[in-house]
A and B are shown apart, each in its own frame.
Chain A
Amino acid sequence: MAEAVKAAANNVESKQYIVVVLGSEHYGVDINYIDNIVRMQSITRVPKTQTYFEGVINLRGEVIPVMSLRKRFGLEADEITGKTRILILKPEAQGSIGIIVDSVKEVLTLSNDSIDKPSAKGADDDKTNFLTGVGKNGDELVSILNIMEVIQDKEEDE
């Protein structure tokens, strides 16, 4: 919160991000997209759909599809621990979607000028397309996720 106040005082445009952990990397998700963060719960598998979708969950009477961010990024499968969380994103009024992450770390305020645009686009590197930039949080780097890209892109082999 203190950072938020500071940023406001400096009058630099800044945004708040939820920092999530995936393996050894930290990713930032624009807080405006986030509707909710829930603990891991039982997921109903949906057959014959994109491989990175784990299935659907029931969130207070709504059926919401859930994808594994690890599978989306081509990492090894999730290892469900007590820290595993599902981020419920609501990019549009009509549709929610959940993404599974290893854990949720903190809320971070970053001013826009402290985010570096990703270096020259590695066309082969799929992950690069999912990022809008890299921000610094002390010693750590936080990759800012391009949420729309993450959730809308269909499988390449389609």
Chain B
Amino acid sequence: MTQQQTAGGDVRLAGISKTYGSFTAVQPLDLTVPQGSFFALLGASGCGKTTTLRMIAGLEEATTGTVFLGEKDITDLPPYKRPVNTVFQSYALFPHLDITENVAFGLRRRGIKSVKKQVDDMLELVELGDFARRKPHQLSGGQQQRVAVARALINHPQVLLLDEPLGALDLKLRRQMQLELKRIQTEVGITFVHVTHDQEEAMTMADTVAVMNGGRVEQLGAPADLYENPRTTFVANFLGTSNLIEGEIVSTGGDLVVAAGGGKLTLPRERCSAATTTGGRLLLGIRPEKISLAHADDADSIAAGRNRVTGRIVDSSFIGVSTQYVVESPAGKALQVYEQNIDRRAGLLPGAEVVLHWNPAHTFGLDADQDIDAGVESVEDAA
């Protein structure tokens, strides 16, 4: 199915905020969602992502600020006058209407009489043609989810809002629906704004991810960029896992050199998001899968120019594709290392003395004045 590019443009939030009494759900926020993009708002529960989405939908009145759709100010429009539709958490399908009538609901409210063709096409797009006369409770979770998408998409909204649309599905179905939604988005070319607490989901589907925490956007960017270049400890910990090592800057000529854990580690200056003055403190970050492990005895065979940290394995778990090690070292009590299971490595057992080494270019630097554990627990809460 082809979709004409609706002349609408970007969703632009200018200084938008929401307070309930004395509680601030969303801090004044500026955000632009480019037309046609798949945009994800990612964060733990209570971070303000759903409230932001509901302000775009018009279901929540913004306390301050303006919502623009293209050049048009839609802040004061009620939801039924906005060219924006929502796929609700747990779907909110009308239990008293069958699938056809659920999907046709928006068309009928806008006074469109002949809805049959459009409804049939839309049910075809979501592969539910055979279920047109069923009631919502007679469908499985995945099917209900697709009805919810069809019910919103049939109105050709300029923006489709998805509020945790996959939260109620089991893991396997969720993976399948992620690809499905991505396919539909590419096919219809509508701007999707997707709210989720699942970082894998956000990274799989979205072009751009905004990580939210405590009512503000921590960082915004393409998934790979966010993963490789987190600018805050929250993002570093919330997206995947990071080893964060605190150190003191000893040299700023060329690459940065940092004294940490009894040794010296280097990182490229452009990968550091914090101020760099000699003597200042810095958090060094390195992803677990970028680290290689060597026996202390084999330390000589490590190539020169790599960052090194010595330590002792305290725990190892075999995951199948990889083995995950926890290493205790002067640089950090529980450094994580993921190693691909290409060859079985003998001797890397708990208690073994090891050297962790990695390419300095993979190191990133963060401001040391932050909670080093920010974002760690929220991942566990969400899991």
Q: A and B bound?
A: no
